[in-house]
Amino acid sequence: MGKQRKKPEAPLLKVLAGQKQTRPPVWLMRQAGRYLPEYRKLREQKAGFLPLVEDSKAAAEATLQPIHRFGFDAAILFSDILVIPYALGQDLAFVKGEGPKLTPTLVDHNLRLLEKTPNRLNPVYETVRKVAATLSPKTTFLGFSGSPWTVATYMVAGEGSRDQAVTRAMAYRDPQAFSEIIDAIIDQTLDYLSGQIEAGVDAVQLFDSWAGTLSPQQFERWVIDPTARLVSKLREKHPDIPIIGFPKGAASRIKAYIADTKVTAIGLDETIDPYWADQYLPAGFPVQGNLDPLVLLSGGDALDQSITTILDAFSERPHIFNLGHGILPQTPLTHVSQLLEKIRG
Ligand code: CP3
């Protein structure tokens, strides 16, 4: 494919190409999920989350549900960042009330003993083809993966944690073994994102949900460097693919992250002052964010005021409106409507 954008009418792709829009395009992280009654209904019909991801017809439906209800400017593929460990041979279970569990944990089990099973990703590519075939040319289709560091924290500890202590300790204690894990994730993620792009996504987002707990040198080594390698390898195969980086919790380090990873746009979490971001990030560089998911949950005047602040701060820059992190399952649907009315006028 040449330089010509596939969907010249899609506002979100225009923003990613550096063109500011009068009204920013909007989507919400985790928009395909449990705050939607139609999602809960679809989910109930399945034995678990993975069977839903692996049923490409149902996963395509879950991807499209928020588009049909709210007309967001982007559809995000219904899958999960943890399908990469699954494809690398770990077992994956979503335990009710406890979150995801991966076994065996790589803190005490050698990566080389896992048997790779990349075919586990095939249903996801089929989901992409199904969604791409029905989406309007105005709606951007986003693929995604986790960033190597965040995926590694789950592979090493076997579960999520507040401070990623198990993984941060391993990265200091045995950087050699940890590098091998990071490299394996990069290779598998490269195939996964390429597969999504070849099946029809228009842009991709890298979720680095746990980027915020690393010390400065470790941030360079395990967030910036692996992300830069992944971005560069992906661009060798797909030179025109826009890439949104979302290093949650990276604070002022987003400047180095942007400069060194060469992502196309940056996702900002809700702790970042949008006026600071607008002043200190490179002129014209596209940003995405950064409404607090808790103010969307709460609604009222606080919601309106927070939206106004973000719109004002980014009024002179290419901006995609989004949350600073995923929408919370208890969020009232009326608050999402309020948000869209306020942004779209
Ligand atoms: O954004 C979207 O709507 C697309 C789909 C999507 C899911 N997970 C579906 C999902 C995306 C982009 C993700 C990303 C993801 N998954 C991240 C990065 C973003 C973030 O929130 O930090 C992370 C860390 C995960 C790992 C993960 N998956 C956890 C911690 C959980 C369990 C916690 C929970 O919410 O139950 C999941 C499961 C999951 N992934 C659900 C959904 C809709 C809920 C599972 C269910 O319906 O039972």
pLDDT in tens, 165-184: 999 999 999 999 999 999 99
pLDDT in tens, 206-225: 999 999 999 999 999 999 99
In 3-state terms, the chain is what percent helix, strand and coil (to 5)? 50, 15, 35
| Cβ atoms 239, 217 nearer than 8 A | no
Residue 74's SS3 state is strand
pLDDT at 5: 59
β-strand partners of 303: none
Do 247 and 253 meet the contact criterion of CB atoms below 8 Å apart? yes
pLDDT tens column, 280-292: 999 999 999 999 9
Q: What single DSSP character describes residue 3? A: S
What's the CA gap between 49 and 183, in Å, rounded?
Answer: 27
Helix (H, G, I), strand (E, B) or coil at 208: strand
Q: Which residues line ligand 1 (CB under 6 A)?
A: 29-34, 43, 49, 76, 78, 80-82, 94, 99-100, 144, 160, 207, 209, 326
User: How many beta carbons lie within 10 A of that of residue 345, not counting itself?
Assistant: 6
Per-residue pLDDT tens over the stretch 299-331: 999 999 999 999 999 999 999 999 999 999 999
Q: Which of 39, 86, 154, 257 is catalytic?
A: 154
Q: Which helix (H) or strand (E) holds 245?
A: strand 243-247
What is the pLDDT averaged over residues 102-124?
A: 96
Q: Report the predicted TM-score, pTM, of the whole model to 2 decimal places.
A: 0.97
- Closest Cα to atom 21, ligand 1: which residue? 326
CATH 3.40.50.2020 fits 11-344, yes or no: no
DSSP letter (8 states) at residue 26: B
Residues 6 or more apart whose CB falls under 8 angstroms from that of 211 comprise 147, 149, 150, 219, 223, 247, 248, 249, 250
Q: Which tens digit of pLDDT belongs to each residue from 22-75?
A: 999 999 999 999 999 999 999 999 999 999 999 999 999 999 999 999 999 999
Q: What residue segments make up the domains of the chain, in order of their start?
A: 11-344
